[in-house]
Each structure stands twice: as C-alpha cells, then as structure tokens.
Amino acid sequence: MNNQVKMAIIAIAIVIPLSSYSVWASDSSLQIRDENSSNKIQAISSFYPLYEFAQKVGQDKVDVKLLVPEGVEPHDWEPTIQDVQKMQKADFVIINGIGFENWVDSLEDMNYSGIVIDTSHGIIEGEIFEDHDKHESEDGHENEDEHGHESKNEEEHESEDGHGHGSGDPHIWLNPVLAKTQVQNIADSFSKFDPNNKDFYQTNANNYKDELDLLDATIKQELSQCNRDFIAFHDAFSYFANEYDLNQHTIISSNDPHAEPTAKTLENVINTARELNIEIIFTEDTIDTRVSTVIANEIGGKILVLSPLEFGGEGNYISRMTENLQNLKEALC
C-alpha cells in the first residue's frame, strides 16, 4: 500500500480530503443538514461497539446500521461493491480508526464519496502506525512498545519484565475511559451535522459517559488489590491493561487473533504462567479454544473468556465489560 495514501487516511486531528471521500475529525468544518429536514440521520458503524455508541448518542433521531455482519471477524472483513453502495446512502460511516478498518484504504478505488468519522480523534494525536515496534521480554514474549493515549495520564508505564502497552493497538474501545472519547466524537459529529438537536445529542452522550465512568470506577475498585499479570489470547487489552495497572501477557503477540503460535511461543507462555503463578488462561468468545486449553492443562489450570467485544451478543457494552471484569477477578483476585 502506498505510504502517503495510508498516512493521509489514518492521520488524526486534521482533515485530509482524498479525491473521492473525506475523513472528518470531530473539530472539523462539517457540512450541515437541511434544518427543515425531518428525516433521521443515517449512520453506518463499522462494527459492534461503535454501533452501540452511536445508538446511545443518536437514539430516535439517528438510524444506525452495522456494516460488518454479525459473526464476521472485523479484522479480516473487506467491503463489497454492495457495501459501498450502502455507505453511499448514509450521512456518516463511523470507524474506530488507528488502522483497525484496513478497508478504508480501498474506498477511494470504489469511488466512495461520503464522509468517514474517525472516533479515535484525540486519543493518539497525529501518530501513524504502520509497523508494530515490538521487543521481546526476558521470557521470550514479544510485546508492543508504549502508546501515547491521553487517558490515565500522558505517561506510559512498562512492567518490570518488559511488557509494554500498545503501539498501534486499535482496541481503544476496551478501555472505558477511551470509549468516552469515542462517544464524544460521535456526539460532536452528529451535533455539527444537525445543530438543531445539538443539546439532545450531547445530553445523551453525557448520560452514557456517566455509565462509562461508573464502569471505570468499578473496575479500578474491584481490581485494586489483585495480582497484576494475566495471559490474554491476543494482544487486544493493552489500553485496558495500561489504564488499570495490569500486565498483559499474550499467546498471540499481535492484533490478529487468528495468528498461529509456534511451539516455542507455547513453551514461553507455559513458563511465564508457572513463574507468575497464573492458573487461568484467557481465550475469546469467537475463537477456537484448543490452544488456550492446551496451555491451561499443562499448568493444571483452566480457561475463561476475556472478550474483545468485536461482535454483538447477549447484553450490551457495559454488561459484557462487566463479565470481563468478573473473569479477571477470578483470575487475579
């Protein structure tokens, strides 16, 4: 992929128009809808968490649709011409950003002429991630270097064994503090497009952010006296781990949950679990559990689910993050 094009598409905090479509940041000059229009705003969210965030903000004034079908891995999904036609009819296409939706790069070739809202605006300002700068800790696990989000504070930390937290990790929605920024970016975009209902969107966003604040406070309290090290399946919880002073170790040291671990990697994970007295190995709700089960059996432990919430399911964002918290408590406390 052409590096200049990729940088133009992913750049955060500025608007860079391409030949056929634009990426909007939340502080951009957005076009305003006809103030006499009684039609609902049409929004398409790339995957589940953004779908729920947009629904919470827009409620009955916004018709939100999900772009990536249920049960389809969003990491691998690519739009068809029919999908682009659906996007053409929408006022907004809402994406996570930070390279999660690789298909954004193909929209220009498909003559997409609409607007893309990047909800990561303000989280990692102006940084472009193409390659993952990784290092190996003494136990042989590759982990990503520090990222620069402005959540807990602007300083990042690294655990003593060299496990850093997330350069280029797109899973910002798994940190409730960063999810608040995504919600606000959606509210800002709706408000600027439909200023007559600005107070409505902002009130809804504030109410939902209050729920996220409560979730954040609950996680902090529930995990404050617990052990800090956990083994996730793939490198999805870097922002979460950073926010709550945890150390994420992974079976798959990449953002691709379908990557295959080597025999050496499995040996390293088993050794890490034994050294840190870890008895629970996390798997995910949409992947084969065999690898996690092999490791758990080897250490005399068991597996639990730590969901990256990339798919819809029973419950909502808050309830499913609470389920993650309960499983983390069982593993750490």
Backbone angle region of 126, left / alpha / beta, with phi > 0 → left and psi within -120 to 50 → alpha: left
Domain that holds residue 11: 3-125+178-202
Whether residues 148 and 195 fall in one domain: no
Q: State how far the Cα of 172 lies from the Cα of 51, in Å rounded to an integer.
A: 15
User: Is residue 272, in this structure, part of any structural domain at all?
Assistant: yes
The structural domain count of the chain equals 2
User: Is residue 215, in this structure, part of any structural domain at all?
Assistant: no
Q: State how far the Cα of 282 lies from the Cα of 327, in Å rounded to an integer.
A: 9
CATH classification at residue 184: 3.40.50.1980
- The tens digit of pLDDT for each residue in 265-304 reads 999 999 999 999 999 999 999 889 999 999 999 999 999 9
Q: Which of 13-22, 47-56, 106-115, 241-250 has the lowest mean pLDDT?
A: 13-22
Q: State how far the Cα of 119 lies from the Cα of 109, in Å rounded to an integer.
A: 23
Whether residues 147 and 68 fall in one domain: no
- CB of 95 closer than 8 Å to CB of 122: no
Whether residues 229 and 325 fall in one domain: yes
Whether residues 139 and 74 fall in one domain: no
pLDDT tier for residue 110 given thresholds of 50, 70 and 90: confident
- The tens digit of pLDDT for each residue in 50-91 reads 999 999 999 999 999 999 988 788 887 889 889 988 999 999
User: Is residue 325, in this structure, part of any structural domain at all?
Assistant: yes
Whether residues 163 and 75 fall in one domain: no
- Kindly list the strands in the beta sheet with 280-283, ordered across the sheet, starting from the edge strand earlier in the chain: 247-252, 229-234, 280-283, 302-305
pTM comes to 0.80
